[in-house]
């Protein structure tokens, strides 16, 4: 069992992760600025990251669930002998972490998207080699931490490069038949999984996104064309539920999917599984699908897996 420092350990994902890790027998330490709620007080906003360096004493694994995207967190953790796990979905930050040459493992693509989507897409590609489309549907009604909402709004109006093409976020819709949800229209979004998987699988992998509220999804597709649309509205809570679903679909219709309730809880389940993997990896930067398959994920933790009959 490992001693795990969870940055953002009492936040939306962090509190679920700390609970899950302790249930699995690990020593989980919640890290944050609030000394009352934190097991180790860490202020990532202060210059020099002094409190962070102090908190690394005796730690085997650091999980970054804080929303702070700073490569020095991985550099300092691995320099102190700890593996580093990050749940980010930001492609540019992941690219920066991939450029590191860490003396201990750095594990990326840990969460629902990227993370579980990577495992689903890899499974589909093994069954039916060729291009893969990934669908991500999240509950609009779940109250995430501020970083999650800001991440989504920040992509409005922005473009990203993929497979020699330039794409505006929340455009180029495609329809998916989603289990128990019917036919839904989803839009391209700059999740990092499509970049990593396109490179690793050697085929185009495209990620599409939507919210369970059709109106909210349509609104995001409209806002992406408006100047200033990337500024998140304060106090806005979009109607919707807390269910989520991720799906990978091959060129021949081969499909794998997973669903659950509570995006933060689902992310914590995947991150907890990643902690066990991270401690066994050699030095270097890797992604979740490099060491785990769908069959390696623990059952009975609130995630339902499925595929069409005959697949």
Query: SS3 for 205?
Result: strand
Tokens 């989603």 belong to residue = 178
- Report pTM: 0.93
Per-residue pLDDT tens digits for 138-176: 998 776 555 556 778 889 999 999 989 999 999 999 999
What does the pLDDT read at residue 199? 97
What does the pLDDT read at residue 300? 87
Listed residue (305, 232, 220, 235) closest to 270, CA to CA? 305
What does the pLDDT read at residue 308? 53
What does the pLDDT read at residue 311? 41
Domains defined for the chain, CATH in brackets? 3-110+266-303 (3.40.50.720), 113-262 (3.30.360.10)
Residue ranges for the chain with pLDDT beneath 70: 143-149, 228-239, 307-311
CA Rg value for the chain: 19
What does the pLDDT read at residue 240? 78
Residues in Cβ contact with 87 at an 8 Å cutoff, skipping those fewer than 6 apart: 13, 63, 64, 65, 110, 111, 115, 267, 271
What does the pLDDT read at residue 9? 97
State the burial class of residue 223 (Cβ atoms within 10 Å of its Cβ: 0-12, 13-18, 19+).
Answer: middle
Angle between helices 91-98 and 193-201 (to 10 degrees): 50
Q: Distance between CA 197 and CA 200 in Å, rounded?
A: 5
Listed residue (90, 205, 95, 237) closest to 151, CA to CA? 90
How many Cβ atoms are within 10 Å of 297's Cβ, its own excluded?
Answer: 16
Q: Distance between CA 150 and CA 137 in Å, rounded?
A: 17
How many Cβ atoms are within 10 Å of 150's Cβ, its own excluded?
Answer: 14
Residues in Cβ contact with 192 at an 8 Å cutoff, skipping those fewer than 6 apart: 88, 89, 90, 91, 94, 108, 109, 114
């Amino acid at each position: 069992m490992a001693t795990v420092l969870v940055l953002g350990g009492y936040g939306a994902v962090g509190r679920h992760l700390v609970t899950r890790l302790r249930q699995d027998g690990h020593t989980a330490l919640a890290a944050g600025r609030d000394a009352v709620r934190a097991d180790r007080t860490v202020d990532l906003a202060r210059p020099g990251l002094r409190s962070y360096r102090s908190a690394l004493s005796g730690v085997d694994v650091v999980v970054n669930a804080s929303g702070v995207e700073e490569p020095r967190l991985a550099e300092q953790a691995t320099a102190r002998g700890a593996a580093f796990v990050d749940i980010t979905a930001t492609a540019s930050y992941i690219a920066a972490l991939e450029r590191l040459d860490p003396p201990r493992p750095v594990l990326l693509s840990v969460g629902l998207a990227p993370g579980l989507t990577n495992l689903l897409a890899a499974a589909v590609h093994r069954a039916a080699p060729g291009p893969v489309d990934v669908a991500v549907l999240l509950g609009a009604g779940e109250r995430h931490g501020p970083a999650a909402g800001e991440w989504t709004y920040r992509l409005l109006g922005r473009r990203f490069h993929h497979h020699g093409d330039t794409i505006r976020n929340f455009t180029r819709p495609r329809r998916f038949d989603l289990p128990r949800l019917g036919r839904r229209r989803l839009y391209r979004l700059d999740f990092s999984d499509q970049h990593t998987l396109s490179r690793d699988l050697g085929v185009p992998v495209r990620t599409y996104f939507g919210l369970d509220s059709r109106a909210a999804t349509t609104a995001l597709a409209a806002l992406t064309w408006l100047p200033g649309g990337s500024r998140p509205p304060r106090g806005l809570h979009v109607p919707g539920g807390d269910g989520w679903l991720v799906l990978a679909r091959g060129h021949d219709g081969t499909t794998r999917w997973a669903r659950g309730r509570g995006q933060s809880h689902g992310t914590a389940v995947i991150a907890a599984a990643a902690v066990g993997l991270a401690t066994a990896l050699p030095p270097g930067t890797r992604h979740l699908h490099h060491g785990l398959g769908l069959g390696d994920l623990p059952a009975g933790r609130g995630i339902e897996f499925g595929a069409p009959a005959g697949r």
